[in-house]
C-alpha cells in the first residue's frame, strides 16, 4: 500500500447546517486521493473552506477537475477574474448582480455544478461572500408549506436582476439584458439523488399564474427563510483562502465593497450534471 492511499479527508463543521473547513495540506489535496470524499462532503455541507491554502491557478484548476467536469469561460479562459474593476474584468458590469442572492447559471440549460473562489486581493471594506443551504431550507419547511409550493413554477430572467442595482436603466441596457432570455423553473428542485432544494434568487421574477402580490410575498418570504441564520454562512476572506460551493444546493452573494479597492477573486467551475427539474 502506498503512503498516498493512507490520506484521509480531514475536516470540521463550521455550522450545523452549512459549511465545513478542510484541514488537509495542499500536498494531500493535490494527490487526488481525496476527490471522492470531497465531492461527497461538498454535497452534504454545501460550502467547503480551504483556509489560506494559497492555490496557484493551476492547483485551483486541478482541484476543480477533481470534483466534476471542468467548465472554462465562454472565451476559453480557465480562470475568471472576479473584480468590479473594468481594467481587470471587461464584463464586470454583470457582477453587480452578484451582490444579491443567486444561483450561478440559472439561465443556462444546466446550471453550474461546483464553483471555487480564491482570494488574491482583499477589499478595503465589506466584500464578505455569504452562502445559504437551499437543501436544508427546503427540508425544514413545515409540511403544509412544502405541499403548497410543490408544483409551483417560477419565471426567471437576467433582466430581473438589472432592476436590483439599476432601478431606472437606459432602455438599450434593458433590451441587452432581455436578449439573454427567460426561462421557467420549478420552485422545488427534485434532484436525481432524491433530495430536494429551493430554487430562488435574483433572477426569480414571479410565480407563473399567481397574483403578483401573492407571488412577491411567497418568493420574498422563502428568500428570507432560506437565507436565515440556521442555513447561512458568511465568509470573511483572508488572502489565499479558497471556498468551494455546491451551486446546486446553495445560493450566494457578495456583500457590498468599494468597487475601486482592487478586491480580486479567481473563480473556476464545473458544469452541472442535471437540469433543474
Which spans of this chain sit near Mn ion (rule: CB under 5 A)? 98, 104
Residue placing its CB nearer to Mn ion in the complex, 60 or 98: 98
On whether the CB atoms of residues 247 and 104 are closer than 8 A, the answer is yes
Q: Which residue has 490520506 as its cell numbers?
A: 7
Residue placing its CB nearer to ligand OGA in the complex, 32 or 72: 72
Could you say whether residue 243 binds ligand OGA (CB under 6 A)? no
- From residue 27 to residue 66, the character string flagging contacts with ligand OGA as x (rule: CB under 6 A) and all else as - is ----------------------------------------
Distance CA 131, CA 248 (A): 12
Could you say whether residue 265 binds ligand OGA (CB under 6 A)? yes
Closest CA to 29 of 122, 116, 104: 116
Residue placing its CB nearer to Mn ion in the complex, 116 or 187: 116
- From residue 59 to residue 98, the character string flagging contacts with ligand OGA as x (rule: CB under 6 A) and all else as - is -----------------------x---------------x
> Nearest approach, Cβ of 201 to ligand OGA (angstroms)?
11
Among 65, 267, 271, 274, indicate the residue that binds ligand OGA (CB under 6 A).
267
> Nearest approach, Cβ of 245 to Mn ion (angstroms)?
9
Contacted by 267, from Mn ion, ligand OGA, none: CB < 5 to 8 Å by type: ligand OGA
Distance CA 66, CA 187 (A): 30
What own/partner pairs with CB < 8 Å and gap ≥ 24 does 79-83 have?
Answer: 79/266, 79/267, 79/268, 80/266, 80/267, 80/268, 81/264, 81/265, 81/266, 81/267, 82/117, 82/264, 82/265, 82/266, 82/267, 83/262, 83/263, 83/264, 83/265
Q: How many residues does the chain have?
A: 277
Could you say whether residue 117 binds ligand OGA (CB under 6 A)? yes
Scanning residues 127 to 156, which ones bind ligand OGA (CB under 6 A)?
A: 129
Could you say whether residue 264 binds ligand OGA (CB under 6 A)? no
Residue placing its CB nearer to ligand OGA in the complex, 28 or 123: 123
Closest CA to 137 of 20, 221, 242: 221
> Nearest approach, Cβ of 102 to ligand OGA (angstroms)?
7
CB-based contacts of 28, cutoff 8 Å, min separation 6: 7, 34
Distance CA 122, CA 106 (A): 28
Residues in the site for ligand OGA, rule: CB under 6 A? 82, 98, 104, 117, 129, 252, 254, 265, 267
Amino acid at each position: 500500500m502506498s503512503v498516498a492511499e493512507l490520506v484521509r479527508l480531514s475536516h470540521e463543521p463550521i455550522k450545523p447546517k452549512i459549511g465545513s473547513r478542510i484541514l488537509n495540506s495542499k500536498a494531500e489535496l493535490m494527490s487526488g486521493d481525496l476527490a471522492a470524499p470531497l465531492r461527497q462532503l461538498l454535497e452534504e455541507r454545501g460550502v467547503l473552506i480551504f483556509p489560506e491554502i494559497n492555490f496557484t491557478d493551476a492547483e485551483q484548476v486541478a482541484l476543480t477537475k477533481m470534483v466534476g467536469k471542468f467548465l472554462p469561460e465562454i472565451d476559453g479562459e480557465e480562470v475568471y477574474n472576479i473584480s468590479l474593476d473594468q481594467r481587470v474584468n471587461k464584463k464586470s458590469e454583470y457582477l453587480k448582480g452578484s451582490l444579491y442572492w443567486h444561483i450561478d447559471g440559472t439561465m443556462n440549460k444546466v446550471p453550474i455544478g461546483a464553483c471555487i473562489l480564491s482570494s488574491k486581493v482583499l477589499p478595503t471594506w465589506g466584500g464578505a461572500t455569504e452562502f445559504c443551504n437551499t437543501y436544508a431550507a427546503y427540508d425544514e419547511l413545515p409540511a403544509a408549506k412544502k405541499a403548497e409550493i410543490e408544483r409551483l413554477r417560477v419565471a426567471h430572467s437576467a433582466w430581473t436582476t438589472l432592476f436590483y442595482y439599476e432601478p431606472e436603466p437606459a432602455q438599450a441596457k434593458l433590451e441587452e439584458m432581455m436578449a439573454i432570455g427567460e426561462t421557467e423553473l420549478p420552485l422545488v428542485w427534485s434532484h436525481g439523488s432524491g433530495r430536494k432544494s429551493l430554487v430562488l434568487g435574483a433572477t426569480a421574477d414571479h410565480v407563473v399564474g399567481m397574483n403578483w402580490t401573492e407571488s412577491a410575498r411567497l418568493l420574498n418570504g422563502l428568500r428570507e427563510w432560506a437565507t436565515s441564520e440556521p442555513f447561512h454562512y458568511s465568509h470573511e476572506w483572508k488572502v489565499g483562502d479558497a471556498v468551494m460551493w455546491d451551486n446546486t444546493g446553495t445560493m450566494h452573494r457578495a456583500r457590498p465593497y468599494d468597487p475601486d479597492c482592487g478586491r480580486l477573486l479567481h473563480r473556476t467551475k464545473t458544469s452541472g450534471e442535471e437540469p433543474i427539474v
